């Protein structure tokens, strides 16, 4: 049909057409709307007015995908070969190790899915429509193109609409465009095709909020065709990026896969070359493969990240995607939305110019606390008549209301008018003045750029007119002004313009105020009545002020080597002033790159500009997404914060997206990796600190885990090379790897943060998990394990002990080396006596568990049978403990020497 073709082809041109053309093209009616029958037909044709949800994976697919890991493939193959050629019990134990990791991964992913579903639940929204000439309320999902929708203050716009009637209609579009002040809408104008989204005053877009007035519009787009739906498609096309940790572990896994296969093949070839039995050689190769795989590492990583999630939740940061915990610790750039994130999203009057004098206000936001000062000294309002009149004009020429709810002050109506009310409250005007009642008003309209109100000053007295608007609109109607003493003097337009430009350069939005008179008994007010002859009262400059805690948090991030960039849909001058106040550019006014300038840059030029620039203003959702991609192309780990629909694509594309929990939109929260429950930028600093602590603990776990696998592999390889019996069997290797990680590795996950964690720069994105020092330490401990296990195994065999007894000694020496090395790994640079022996209470729990498990492994008959172990003597235990004690002393000595060397280098640098 014609309507369907029209909707498909011209979704974004409705602002260019007059209202009547839109009504005709949608075959609707400006008074009767659609018929019920036609609406039902269109609902079948276009579908419900909902955003298409992305289809998730089934539970079975999610479970099977947990097996998709190269290291698990090796264990599965080893399990099958062992089952066919040797022992079903050993095969079952190997498969059990695989299953434990798979189940842990599946449980964690399922919890994440449930969290996403819980956050995505929203209340059903309704809309007021006219159908068959009757005004009715219907679910917003039932809206169709061509519907006539009525809007009033407090409504959330349910679909994209071309407005056909407005009455003082103002819509807050911060969630969509980033503009912090509501936009005054009008119906009659036909706009240019290239008009930006933020300037389309004839349109109302889904998800925005009506703050004032009334209106009616024809629905031109529903569901996925709305601007919000289009942004959701951008979210869907933004790629899910791997985090730094997952990238490094994936790279490590691939490398380890080839190393393991190569060593296993070499073991088999060497055994065959030495004419050893093929079955024994094959089992030795399997043992080496099993020994080299850190089976417990995935579980330890998952638990460590989960502990980080719990810690962050206590600090009001909710993690929706587990790897985001670690990503925060590696973040190099934070791209933050301005409105509501770095600022309070509460307009505040900061400067007032009246009677030729300038005043400042204290306090921020809608809290009516503070005072008016001149040169830092509180003023007496009675001696500043021009100031009193300027504030009174802002209070009376006003349609909004200041309200208190649950101890929190807010504005019902326009935020700009709310700021004027608060400024008057700070001066005490509502308490000390008997305010004249309003008789009539001229509402604000964009073509006139002013609002005026008529007030009754008392019986037989002239009526008072108060007026507010743009500086140009007010000045052009004024012949006189008040001086400091309240006397009428000629209007000095040049001085007023100089004051306006000075305050505008500070990023303040300027409003001018005037007063006039009408004859007693006048009951109406018209534009002609305020065309001239008015008295200029003054200026009020306001801004959406920065959060005080955001200033501190930005400074802390910068000290930690993290660059903070502001991305906003607001004007460049305002954005630059806020950035200067927050300290984004070291307290200096930063340069600003606007959306129009970004359009002219190639990808390479934009990547260069993104590195240099701190503030990006008047940007579109696509440009926000492009900015994040540009920074990522230069190797940055990017965190994006925001609360609006317009932030969602960049939140999705960023390495970590951070959404606001209180004021954030559903779309933003669903796209984010982390949600701040207090909407406080300062919480990000706490989350970064926790993230760094998590990465430290992950590093400790890896440094502690790998020497065991290296040592076990070297033991097997040495046995094959010299033609000896295997000192440890595959099933015993699995026992060591799984039990020690479960009982001891998770102890490291609970370690606290080390001092100075926020004084060091971020980890380089391309830096390996382990540096050269840690690699050498890992190899040294691996060699120690090989020497200790092989030497004691041979000692027991030469002393006449059976193979089972000798292998039990070898297993225990490996475990005891891990126990003492765990104490080394509590800090990678300091002794555990420096960080506190008892600072981690789980340490002693883990040690108790591992001791009990090893005693059971050694002395319980049923475990002896399953794991091929045997009881050993007290003397054997004495020999076992000598090796780990030597290892502990050597590692602590190495850390001490490195601290001394680092201290000498620091002293020389100073």
Max Cα–Cα distance, the chain, nearest Å: 123
Which of 351, 312, 155, 232 is closest to 691 using CA atoms?
A: 312
Residue 657 has pLDDT above 50, yes or no: yes
Tell me whether residue 337 is one of the annotated catalytic residues: yes
394-398, 526-530, 588-592: segment of lowest average pLDDT: 588-592
Contact 347, 418 (CB under 8 A): yes
pLDDT tens per residue, range 212-232: 778 999 999 998 888 878 776
Q: Residue 455: which pLDDT band, with cuts at 50, 70 and 90?
A: very high
**Strand segments (E) across 522-579:** 534-543, 563-567
Q: Residue 86: which pLDDT band, with cuts at 50, 70 and 90?
A: low
Q: Is 459 left (phi over 0), alpha (psi -120 to 50) or beta?
A: beta
Q: Residue 681: which pLDDT band, with cuts at 50, 70 and 90?
A: confident
Residue 120 has pLDDT above 50, yes or no: no
Residues 6+ apart with CB under 8 A from 601: 609
Q: Residue 679: which pLDDT band, with cuts at 50, 70 and 90?
A: confident
Beta pairing class for 148-152 and 126-131? antiparallel
Q: What is the pLDDT of residue 121?
A: 45
Percent of the chain with pLDDT over 70: 85
Which of 343, 346, 344, 336 is closest to 181 using CA atoms?
A: 346
67-76, 363-372, 537-546: segment of lowest average pLDDT: 67-76
Q: Residue 123: which pLDDT band, with cuts at 50, 70 and 90?
A: very low
Q: Mean pLDDT across the stretch 104-120?
A: 55
25-39, 254-268, 817-831: segment of lowest average pLDDT: 254-268
Residue 2 has pLDDT above 70, yes or no: no
Q: Mean pLDDT across the stretch 373-381?
A: 90
HEC-encoded secondary structure of 89-138? HHHHHHHHHHHHHHHHHHHHHHHHHHHHHHHHCCCCCEEEEEECCEEEEE
DSSP assignments along 568-592, one per residue = -SS-HHHHHHHHHHHTTTTTSPPPE
Residue 112 has pLDDT above 50, yes or no: no
Q: Residue 235: which pLDDT band, with cuts at 50, 70 and 90?
A: low
pLDDT tens per residue, range 575-630: 888 898 899 987 788 889 998 899 999 999 999 999 999 999 888 777 888 999 99
Q: Residue 70: which pLDDT band, with cuts at 50, 70 and 90?
A: low
Query: Strand, coil or helix: what is 769?
Result: coil
Tell how far CA 372 is from the center of its chain.
38
26-30, 200-204, 238-242: segment of lowest average pLDDT: 238-242
Which of 573, 167, 712, 605 is closest to 399 using CA atoms?
A: 167
Residue 637 has pLDDT above 70, yes or no: yes
Q: Residue 664: which pLDDT band, with cuts at 50, 70 and 90?
A: low
Cα angle value 703/705/710 (rounded, 5°): 95
Residues 6+ apart with CB under 8 A from 784: 707, 711, 817, 883, 886, 887, 890
d(CA 238, CA 648): 10
Q: What is the pLDDT of residue 663?
A: 65
* Enclosing H/E stretch for 621: helix 621-633
Residue 357 has pLDDT above 70, yes or no: yes
Beta bridge partners of 218: 148, 162
**H-assigned helices in 723-826:** 730-740, 746-749, 772-798, 803-825
d(CA 770, CA 530): 75
Which of 121, 162, 156, 117 is closest to 22 using CA atoms?
A: 162
Q: Residue 234: which pLDDT band, with cuts at 50, 70 and 90?
A: low
Catalytic annotation, pick one of 155, 337, 414, 643: 337
Q: What is the pLDDT of residue 116?
A: 43
Q: Mean pLDDT across the stretch 829-845?
A: 86
Q: What is the pLDDT of residue 593?
A: 93
Residue 839 has pLDDT above 80, yes or no: yes
Q: Residue 323: which pLDDT band, with cuts at 50, 70 and 90?
A: low
pLDDT tens per residue, range 334-345: 988 787 778 887
d(CA 125, CA 138): 9
**Strand segments (E) across 299-391:** 317-319, 333-337, 348-354, 357-361, 372-374, 377-378
Q: What is the pLDDT of residue 786?
A: 92
pLDDT tens per residue, range 723-760: 788 898 878 887 887 788 777 877 888 888 887 788 88
Q: What is the pLDDT of residue 167?
A: 80
d(CA 734, CA 459): 97
Q: Is 656 left (phi over 0), alpha (psi -120 to 50) or beta?
A: beta
pLDDT tens per residue, range 843-857: 889 999 999 999 999
State the average pLDDT for the chain: 83
Q: What is the pLDDT of residue 609?
A: 94
Q: Mean pLDDT across the stretch 527-532?
A: 93
* Alpha-carbon torsion, ordered 157, 159, 160, 162, to 10 deg: -70
Looking at residue 759, the DSSP 8-state letter turns out to be S
Query: Strand, coil or helix: what is 220?
Result: strand
Tokens of 646: 């317009």
Q: What is the pLDDT of residue 8?
A: 41
Q: What is the pLDDT of residue 78?
A: 67
Which of 55, 615, 76 is closest to 295 using CA atoms?
A: 76
């Amino acid at each position: 049909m014609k309507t369907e073709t029209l909707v498909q082809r011209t979704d974004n041109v409705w602002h260019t057409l007059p209202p009547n053309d839109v009504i005709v093209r949608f075959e609707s009616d400006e008074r009767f709307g659609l018929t019920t029958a036609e609406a039902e037909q269109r609902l079948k044709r276009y579908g419900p007015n909902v955003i298409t949800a992305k289809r998730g994976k089934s539970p079975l697919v999610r479970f099977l995908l947990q097996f998709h890991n190269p290291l698990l493939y090796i264990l599965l193959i080893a399990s099958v070969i062992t089952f066919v050629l040797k022992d079903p019990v050993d095969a079952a134990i190997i498969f059990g190790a695989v299953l434990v990791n798979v189940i842990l991964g599946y449980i964690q992913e399922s919890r994440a899915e449930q969290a996403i579903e819980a956050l995505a639940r929203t209340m059903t929204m309704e809309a007021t429509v006219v159908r068959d000439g009757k005004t009715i309320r219907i679910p917003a999902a039932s809206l169709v193109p061509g519907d006539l929708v009525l809007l009033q203050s407090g409504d959330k716009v349910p679909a994209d609409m071309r407005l056909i009637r407005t009455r003082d209609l103002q819509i807050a579009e911060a969630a969509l465009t980033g503009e912090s002040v509501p936009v005054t809408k009008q119906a009659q104008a036909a706009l240019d095709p290239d008009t930006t989204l933020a300037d389309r005053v004839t349109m109302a877009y889904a998800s925005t909020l009506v703050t004032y007035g009334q209106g009616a519009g024809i629905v031109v787009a529903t569901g996925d065709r709305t601007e919000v739906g289009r942004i959701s498609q951008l979210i869907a096309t933004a790629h899910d990026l791997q985090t730094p940790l997952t990238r490094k572990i994936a790279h490590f896994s691939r490398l380890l896969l080839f190393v393991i296969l190569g060593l296993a093949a070499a073991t088999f070839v060497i055994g065959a070359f030495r004419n050893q039995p093929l079955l024994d050689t094959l089992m030795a190769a399997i043992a080496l493969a099993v020994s080299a795989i850190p089976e417990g590492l995935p579980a330890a990583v998952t638990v460590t990240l989960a502990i980080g999630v719990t810690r962050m939740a206590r600090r009001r940061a909710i993690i929706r995607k587990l790897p985001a915990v670690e990503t925060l610790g590696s973040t190099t750039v934070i791209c933050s939305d301005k409105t509501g994130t770095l600022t309070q999203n509460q307009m505040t009057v900061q400067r007032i110019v009246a009677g030729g004098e300038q005043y400042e206000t204290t306090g921020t936001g809608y809290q009516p606390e503070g005072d008016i000062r001149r040169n830092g000294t509180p003023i007496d309002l009675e001696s500043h008549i021009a100031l009193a009149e300027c504030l009174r004009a802002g209070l009376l020429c006003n349609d909004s209301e200041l309200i208190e709810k649950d101890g929190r002050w807010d504005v019902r109506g326009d935020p700009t008018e709310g700021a004027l009310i608060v400024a008057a409250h700070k001066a005490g005007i509502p308490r000390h003045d008997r305010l004249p009642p309003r008789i009539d008003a001229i509402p604000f309209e964009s073509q006139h750029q002013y609002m005026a109100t008529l007030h009754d000053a008392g019986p037989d007295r002239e009526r008072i007119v108060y007026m507010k608007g743009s500086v140009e609109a007010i000045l052009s109607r004024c012949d006189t002004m008040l001086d400091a003493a309240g006397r009428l003097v000629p209007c000095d337009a040049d001085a007023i313009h100089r004051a306006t430009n000075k305050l505008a350069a500070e990023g303040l939005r300027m409003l001018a105020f005037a007063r006039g008179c009408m004859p007693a008994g006048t009951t109406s007010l018209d534009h002609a009545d305020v065309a001239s002859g008015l008295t200029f009262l003054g200026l009020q400059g306001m801004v959406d002020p920065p959060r005080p805690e955001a200033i501190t948090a930005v400074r802390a991030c910068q000290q930690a080597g993290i660059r903070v960039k502001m991305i906003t849909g607001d004007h460049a001058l305002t954005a630059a002033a806020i950035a200067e106040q927050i300290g984004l550019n070291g307290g200096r006014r930063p340069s600003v790159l606007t959306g129009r300038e970004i359009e002219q840059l190639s990808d390479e030029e934009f990547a260069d500009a993104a590195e240099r620039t701190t503030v990006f203003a008047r940007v579109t959702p696509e440009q926000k997404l492009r900015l994040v991609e540009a920074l990522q192309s230069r190797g940055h780990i990017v965190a994006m914060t925001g609360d609006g629909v317009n932030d969602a694509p960049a939140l999705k594309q960023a390495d970590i997206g951070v959404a606001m929990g209180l004021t954030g939109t559903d779309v933003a929260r669903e796209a984010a990796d982390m949600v701040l429950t207090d909407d406080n930028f300062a919480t990000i600093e706490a989350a970064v600190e926790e993230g760094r602590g998590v990465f430290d603990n992950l590093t400790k776990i890896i440094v502690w885990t790998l020497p065991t696998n290296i040592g076990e592999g070297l033991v097997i390889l040495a046995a094959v090379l010299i033609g000896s019996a295997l000192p440890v069997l595959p099933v015993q290797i699995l026992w060591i790897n799984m039990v020690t990680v479960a009982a001891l590795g998770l102890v490291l996950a609970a370690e606290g943060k080390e001092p100075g964690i926020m004084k060091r720069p971020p980890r380089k994105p391309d830096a390996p998990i382990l540096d050269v020092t840690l690699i050498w330490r890992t190899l040294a401990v691996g060699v120690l394990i090989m020497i200790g296990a092989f030497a004691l195994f041979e000692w027991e065999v030469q002393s006449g002990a059976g193979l089972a007894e000798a292998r039990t000694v070898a297993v225990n020496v490996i475990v005891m080396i891990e126990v003492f090395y765990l104490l080394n790994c509590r800090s990678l640079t300091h002794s555990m006596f420096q960080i506190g022996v008892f600072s981690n209470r789980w340490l002693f729990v883990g040690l108790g568990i591992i001791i009990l498990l090893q005693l059971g492994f050694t002395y319980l008959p049923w475990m002896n049978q399953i794991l091929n172990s045997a009881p050993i003597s007290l003397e054997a235990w004495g020999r076992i403990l000598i090796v780990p004690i030597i290892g502990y002393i050597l590692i602590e000595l190495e850390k001490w020497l490195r601290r001394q060397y680092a201290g000498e280098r620091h002293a020389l640098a100073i």
